[in-house]
Every structure is written in structure tokens, then in C-alpha cells.
Amino acid sequence: MIRPTHLRCEYLVNPLAIDTRHPRLSWALERVDARRGARQTAYHIVVQQADGEIVWDTGRVESDQTTQIVYAGRPLRQTARYEWRLRVWDERDEASDWSVAAWTMGRWGPGWTNARGHDGGADDLPAAAWIGAPLDDIWNERASQPSTYLRKQFTLAAPVRWAVVYASALGVYELRINGQRVGDHILAPEWTDYDTKAQYQGYDVTALLREGENVIGAVLGPGWYAGQLGLGAAFLGIERGYYGRLLRFIAQLHIEGADGTTQVVSTDGSWRYTTDGPIRAADILAGEIYDARREMPGWDAPGFDGRGWQPVASSGGPTLVAQPNEPIRITRTLTPIAVTEPRPGVFIFDLGQNMVGWARLKVRGQAGDDIRLRYGEALNPDGTLYRDNLRLPDPNDPQRGAQQEDHYICRGDGDETFEPHFTYHGFRYVEVSGLRYTPAASDLTGCVFHSSGADVGQFECSSPLLNKIMSAVQWTQRSNLHSVPTDCPQRDERLGWAGDIQVYSQTAMFNMDMAAFFTKWLRDVREAQADDGRFPDFAPHPFDPNARFSGNPGWGDAGVIIPWRMYLNYGDTRILEEMFEPACRYIDWSAANNPDLIWRNRSQLTPLWYGDWLNADTFVDIPGLPRAGGEVPKEVYSTAFFAYSTQLVARMAEVLGRRPEARKYARLAEQIRAAFNREFVAADGRITGDTQAGYALALHFDLLPARLRPRAVRHMLAAMQPYGGGLSTGIQSTVRMMLELTRYGHTDIAYRLINRTEMPSWGYMIEHGATTIWERWDGWAEGRGFQNPGMNSFNHYAIGAVGEWMWRVIAGINPDESAPGYKHVRIRPIPGGGLTWARASYDSIRGRIAVAWSVDGQGVNVDVALPPGVTAAVEIPTSGEAVIEESGQPLERCEGVGRVARGDTSTVIEVESGEYKFRAARQPS
Ligand code: BGC
């Protein structure tokens, strides 16, 4: 028997705002009994409206498909809730019980309203207006202004059967109904190119409304729309207001009464606002100032005297689209492990973990006491807070910096709790001053929040160091998913840097469910594509992608590589369709600008040509390591990416059935490879520059003829010598080198690198207190201290892309390119590096895949569990005459075991779904 679980619509669990007319459904499968070879042979989906009317009944469909099933029933209606039921049959034709889930459609129509304020959209729903305070009340060029509070009272004639509200803002918002916070979203509506579109969110508010008087309210902050934005001040000299200055809010509440009536409450001219509330200033980079003396008890509930509030102003807004990704929400909280007092009255709470979010603080004080919270990632030698790497304003560079500082002004009436609203901070330490007493550690809580795709990867092995590396990798990931994949969460940057997530994306997918997140972000990438086809270096791109920060090799390539990984990991072809034309334009631009197919930056369109960023040539004062010669020449690096992305575009074309394009780009990729070899590869396999990175990239992207590959591997190993056997690679080549070491039989060397604790290494970071991955290999060095604070984050995931190697080689889980979406998986753990065991599980889009192995003096045990419908090639490391058994039985007699291919160093066993316990033992001599 099998059972469907984890029913999702457009990758989301019971979503409340879907605006694609043909949403895709998926489910995972679980085994109910121990039988092997279980699989789905048929499914039956029934979709019905709230009134019971069935809009889609597939009947029994003979199919093993469990993902990407496109809704094909009657047209879906906006704002309607659809319940879907599913049952499946297994290979013995036994039916499962019905499983049930739901989705709610969004509100469509270009912007629910337009600049003239009367576009009701489709289906004649009433319009809603973008409302807020007039400019004079909220705008100041230099400083963040107080939050706008909005409210509207309305009457419901009947009890509520079902109510959904859609809301968005130009700025960020919190929604309130009848004194309660609506939903748990933080920093909604999140970050998009607001000139093009804003996202709206849907909330089920049935339980919050009641017959009689009700109040809906909202609080607005500047967010990405009107606040400070990373790099903007430094590069453009503009401090805030990149997209606009007018904070605006839009909402529409749809209520179905128990008596069958419907009512719609929309933002319009009847709402009122004030800016006299407690949030005096809020900014993502700067922090928040909250004056509790100005709280307005009951403002968001009926019975409040709102006479001092003013009528709202309204203005136009962009197109609205439903948020496709999981919201930013608090996923866990941390309690401090220590509190110190390095200066009298200045307390430092240590959360024991570098994290991202904010602090919640319990205080007691007198009315007007100003409690200051400053956030930082490290301490100075004297125990005070280290904040230099936030690039705080200095006289020479006054416009940079992320203050990361909150203020709470006490009411003075006993126990008070402060938690900010419209900011976020990257920190391990919180410095609190302004208290009249010594606080207890438990007075402060670290609230960790991020875009909340589920944790799907659990990894553990016998090495405490390696476990700490994986933990740091995962913490760095959750620190840098805030609507966009950021480079860092603390300084004045926090941009969706494409190169970092390009190299990290496979690790990201092993650790967390990234499907919905990337669906959102790849649209940001597409919308930020320059007119000539260059993909942006980051997305969204508020600084004009035509003018700057576009087309950098390794960065722009995210627009090709990540869609491809969406296909491999989730079987997503819709994203390939969406990204295919943009990807072709990107390749065509590269080809047009590099007529001899060597990427030379002739057009000078990328004045900041990053290359293999932060390689060993960027180290400062690290004795014993060469000062130059580590960096792969930028032409070699860039041409390698050009060839690889072109190859991927050809494969995308194949998947999409676009034969002419498949041929065109395959031919072009071949020509780029030929040019690469002609220009950079000598007869002995040496690649211009003779760097580790050059070999790693050329091997990883399959650029070399087969006969030269072993030589290139030898040169790559030789290039480690000047570095004492360590790495000289930057962010783009490190994990690729680890993977190539394994591919060419040198996993022992890869293990040596991951176990290393000398600079540069992951172990060095961990041994020096890292709980997240550093931006630079030499972010801090013994005897030297911190690197240049102008660019030195301790929470950057790019170097953490080694997580991919740990997943593929230690856990042994490898998606199979010929069976995307984990229909077939290659399980290939390679013990080594002194490890005695490892166990890992990965919740694939089809269900949980688990691997556990251990070695002892006599042999190796490999346990594998596969969900129904997933088959695997399990590769067991064996030497010579090993005998392999499964649960004590010879393989030939085992249910579920198919073809067995014995090789010199391993045996590959094809298996059907189910649980297996393999043991390969040396033959007794
Ligand atoms: C960011 C990087 C980014 C880079 C571009 C840096 O400032 O923090 O992670 O990829 O710029 O080279």
C-alpha cells in the first residue's frame, strides 16, 4: 500500500493566493508497508468549489506522475477556494484513502486598480485603491520617517462563513483585523521590481471577523521600496527612495456570510491614517525606533476614537501579482548563551550562533527611557561589539553603512516587550544599553526569520568538524533568503547577487525546498535583464541594468544554470519555458560581443569584471602562501562559463522539444569549446594561468578532450603544491574543484581539504569560532585579525557551496540527469577522510530518500530507503573480492534488486523503491 502526502499546489501547502490559471499539483508518496517495488500506477483527482460544484474530475488516470500535474478543469474563478481530493493506486491496484488539500485563487486584473483608480479587473470585482499619507507627512531625503497607520471600520450583517483578504504595499506592511495581527508574514509584500510589479499576499481571516462592527488596519514602513538599499548610496549617491517615496497600501477583503451574502471591503478614500503612532522610523538597513509612549491602544479594533486621523490620499500603483514563494516568517528562536558587560551599563547578549532576524527584548524602565540595541557578528578583543564590517558612515564615505540599530522608548508602566517590525539584522551579538539594571540572559530572544521553504535535508556524520561545517552552511543559507537570495545579511548590500546563488544553488536545494523561492526569484532575474540580453549581476536590479552591474560571467549565468537545476531537482519544465528565450538572448549577446568566442569583455560593459571572486590572490598578509598566481585568468574563466551555459541552453531546447535551437546552441557550444582549447590549452593539457581554478572549471564543464583530462587533473594537483596542498580557488571554482577531485578518483584529496584546519579552509573558519560561512577565506586570521572591513562579511554562502560535495559524496545523494525530479537517483556514498559513518535524508519532490552508511574493519554497510516510485542505482564501494549481501541474503535472491554491475572499486546495484541494507564484506581469506 502507498499513501500520498504533502499535497501541494504550485509548490505551496494550501496556498491562499494563486493567480496562475493552470496551477500545478504535486504530492509525495509514502509506503504503508515494507514491500519493495511499491509505486503509483494511477491517480484520481477531484477538485470542487466551496458550493460543492465539481470543476475537475480526472477520473482514474493510468500514470505514475506525482508532480507537475497541470490543472485542466473548468476555468478557475478569482477569490474562490478549491478543495482537492486525491487517491492513488499502487502496482497491485490497491487504492489509497483520499487525501485532501486546498488552494484559493487570487485576485487578478492588472493592478486591481490603475492610476485613474477605476479598473475593476476581470469578473467585475470592485476596484481597490493604493492609499496612504501625503508626501509631506512621510518623506525626508535623509532619514526614515514615522510609519503610516491606516484604519477602516465596517459592519457585517451576518456571521462569516469564509473570508479572504488580499493585501500589498509599496513599502512593507503589517495587516491587522480587530486587534489581531493577520498572518505571520514578515516584510510583506517582499522585494520585486516595484516599477514593474508588486506582490500581494492572501490571508484566511474567517476566524478574525464577526457579525457587527469590525476594523481592518495596516501599518506601513519603507522597506525596499522607499528605504535605504544596498550599494545604492555608495554607487549612485542616492540614500533612499529608489522605487518611490509615497508609501502606499492596497487591500481587498472578500467575505461570504453564513446567510449566503457576499461583501467586499476595499482600500478607498474612506480610510483614515495617522503618522503619530509608536513606530517613529524603520528601515531595513538602519533599524527601527519604537516609542511605546505613543502606542494607540485599540486603534485596530472597533470602539477606537479615530477623530484625529486624517482622510487618506491615493495614487497609482504597479501591476499586482500573487506572491509565488513561501513568506518570510520566524522559523525558530534562540536564547542567549551568555551576557557580558564589557563597559558599565553596556550589556552584550551572545546568541551562540550567527543568525538573521531581530531580537525580542523584555524591559522595565521609566517612561522615556531609551533602550538601544545594536547588532554585530563578532566581538573586539576587549569584548566590545565589532561593527566595522557594517561599513558604518565614516567621514570619507558618509553614505555607506547599515546601522543595524533599534531603539525602544519605554512606556514606563511595568514589564514591556519590544520586537521590531520593518527591519532585519545579521548578528550573533546584541548590545543593549540604557537599562537601569543588569538584565538576565532570558530577557532577550533571537528571532530567526527568512523565506520559509521547508528544511528538506538532514545530514550527520561521525566527524564533529564536518557536522559543524554543514551546520554553518545551513545557517548561512537561512541567513540569506529574504525574498531574494542575498550575498550577506548585515552590511549595506543584501542584494540578490546572482553569482553567489548560482554556485550555491545545488547546495541550497539539498538543504531546503527552493522550488517556490526560485520560481519567484527567476522572474526577478528575467525582469532585470538588460535590453541587449545581458542577465543582471543581481536581481531585482534597482540601479538600471542597462547602465551597470550586468552580464558578468558566473553571475549572469545564474539565469541559465538555476532554471536547469530546477528541472533536474524538481522536474520543472515550466520554468525552462519561462527562462528559455531570456537565456537564448543572454547567450546571443555573449556570442555577438565575442566574435572569436573567447570572452574578452571587449565591449567593456562589465567594468567590474569579478572572475573567480575572492581567490587566494586576494588574501592579505597570510604568511607562507604565494601572493599571486592563484587567480584563473578572467578570459579563461569567462569563456568556460560561456561554453557551459551555451551547452545548457542546448539541453533546455531539447527538453522543450525545440529542435532548431537545440542544434544551434549545441553547435555553438562545440565551437566555444574548440576556441577554448585552441586559445588556452597546451598540448600537454596545461591551461593558461596554470591555476587550480582553471583546471577545475575546464574539467567540470567538460571542455577538454578526453585524452587531456587525466593530464589536466595532474596539473590541477600540481597547482596545489605552492599552497601547501591547499586551495587557491575563489567562490566559483572551489566546489567545482572538490567535485572534480572526486570524479577523477581523488576523493582522498577532497577529504583532506574538507578536514583541513589551516588557512584557507572551512575548518579554519570553524576552529576560529565560525557558526556561519565567511565571505572570505581569510575573513579573520591568527596574528592579523580581521580582513579589510570594507568587505568582510561572516555570513556569505558562496564558499559554503561545498555543501553540494558533502551531499553528493558523503551522503551520496545525486540527482540523475536522465530522470529529473528524482524519479531515479544515484546513491553513491564514498567513505573516506576518517569517517566511520554518515546518515542523511533528503525530502525530494517525490518523497524521502535516506542513506546511512558505516564502515568497520571488515567492510561497509549501506542502508538505503526510497519512497514509492523512486528507483536508484546504489553504488557500493568494494575492493577486489568483496561479497555483497542485502539483509543477510545474496543479492540474486533479493526482492527489488535488479541489475548488478561489478567494477574494480565499486558495485552498482539497481533497486526499486523500498528499504535495503547492503553489506559489502571482505572475503575471509
Ligand atoms: C558581494 C558578493 C558579490 C560580489 C560581486 C560583493 O560585494 O558581497 O558576494 O557576488 O560583490 O563580485
Closest-CA residue, ligand 1 atom 12, reads 610
**268 pLDDT tier (thresholds 50, 70, 90):** very high
Rounded CA gap, 841 and 195, in Å?
42
CA dihedral in degrees (170, 173, 178, 179; nearest 10)? -150
500 lines ligand 1 (CB under 6 A): yes
**122 pLDDT tier (thresholds 50, 70, 90):** very low
For the record, the C-alpha cell of 24 comes out as 500545478
Sign of CA dihedral 34, 39, 42, 48: positive
- The answer, yes or no, to whether residue 708 has pLDDT greater than 90, is yes
Return phi, psi of residue 288, to 5°.
-130, 145
Rounded CA gap, 486 and 478, in Å?
10
Strands 883-886 and 837-844: unpaired
Rounded CA gap, 277 and 807, in Å?
49
Cα–Cα separations (whole angstroms), residue 335 to 274, 349, 372, 379: 36, 9, 19, 18
**118 pLDDT tier (thresholds 50, 70, 90):** very low
Query: CA neighbours within 13 Å on the CB side: how many for 95?
Result: 11
Closest-CA residue, ligand 1 atom 5, reads 610
Rounded CA gap, 825 and 425, in Å?
39
642 lines ligand 1 (CB under 6 A): no
497 Cα: distance to centroid of ligand 1 (angstroms): 7
568 Cα: distance to centroid of ligand 1 (angstroms): 27
Per the CB < 8 A criterion, the answer to whether 396 and 487 are in contact is no
pLDDT of residue 141: 78
Which candidate in 174, 190, 775, 875 is catalytic?
775
Atom of ligand 1 nearest to the CA of 498: 10
Rounded CA gap, 213 and 465, in Å?
59
Range in 391-405, 628-642, 774-788 with the lowest mean pLDDT: 391-405
- Model pTM? 0.97
Atom of ligand 1 nearest to the CA of 613: 12
896-908 pLDDT, tens per residue?
999 999 998 899 9
162-194 pLDDT, tens per residue?
999 999 999 999 999 999 999 999 999 999 999
600-614 pLDDT, tens per residue?
987 777 888 999 999
Tell me what the mean pLDDT of segment 450-471 comes to: 98
Rounded CA gap, 813 and 826, in Å?
6
Mutate to test the pocket of ligand 1, among 389, 487, 615, 638 (most ligand atoms within 8 A of CB): 487
431 lines ligand 1 (CB under 6 A): no
> Which residues touch 658 (CB under 8 Å, ≥6 apart)?
580
For the record, the C-alpha cell of 683 comes out as 598540448
Atom of ligand 1 nearest to the CA of 499: 10
612 lines ligand 1 (CB under 6 A): no
89-98 pLDDT, tens per residue?
999 999 999 9
pLDDT of residue 106: 95
701 lines ligand 1 (CB under 6 A): no
Q: Is 493 a catalytic residue?
A: yes
Question: What's the distance, Cα to Cα, between the start and end of the chain in Å?
Answer: 44
774 Cα: distance to centroid of ligand 1 (angstroms): 13
- The residue to which cell 555573449 is assigned: 590
Closest-CA residue, ligand 1 atom 2, reads 487
Rounded CA gap, 503 and 103, in Å?
34
Q: Is 578 a catalytic residue?
A: no
pLDDT of residue 113: 66
- The answer, yes or no, to whether residue 125 has pLDDT greater than 70, is yes
> Which residues touch 399 (CB under 8 Å, ≥6 apart)?
233, 234, 237, 239, 393
* Residue 342, number of CB atoms within 10 A of its CB: 14
Nearest by Cα to 730 from 856, 662, 636, 826: 636
499 lines ligand 1 (CB under 6 A): yes
- The residue to which cell 585568468 is assigned: 633
Report the percentage of the chain scoring pLDDT > 90. 91
Where is pLDDT greater, at 904 or 746? 746
What are the helix (H) ranges across 625-658? 634-655
613 lines ligand 1 (CB under 6 A): yes
**119 pLDDT tier (thresholds 50, 70, 90):** very low
No. of helices (H) and no. of strands (E), the chain: 16, 49
274-305 pLDDT, tens per residue?
999 999 999 999 999 999 999 999 999 999 99
Paired with 319 in beta bridges are 197
Atom of ligand 1 nearest to the CA of 231: 7
834-869 pLDDT, tens per residue?
999 999 999 999 999 999 999 998 899 999 999 999
Report CA Rg, the chain.
28
346-390 pLDDT, tens per residue?
999 999 999 999 999 999 999 999 999 999 999 999 999 999 999
Mutate to test the pocket of ligand 1, among 389, 494, 500 (most ligand atoms within 8 A of CB): 500
492 lines ligand 1 (CB under 6 A): no
**236 pLDDT tier (thresholds 50, 70, 90):** confident
pLDDT of residue 234: 81
**Mean pLDDT, all residues of the chain:** 95
Return phi, psi of residue 123, to 5°.
55, 20
Rounded CA gap, 471 and 328, in Å?
21
Strands 287-291 and 405-409: parallel
**126 pLDDT tier (thresholds 50, 70, 90):** confident
Tell me what the mean pLDDT of segment 795-806 comes to: 98
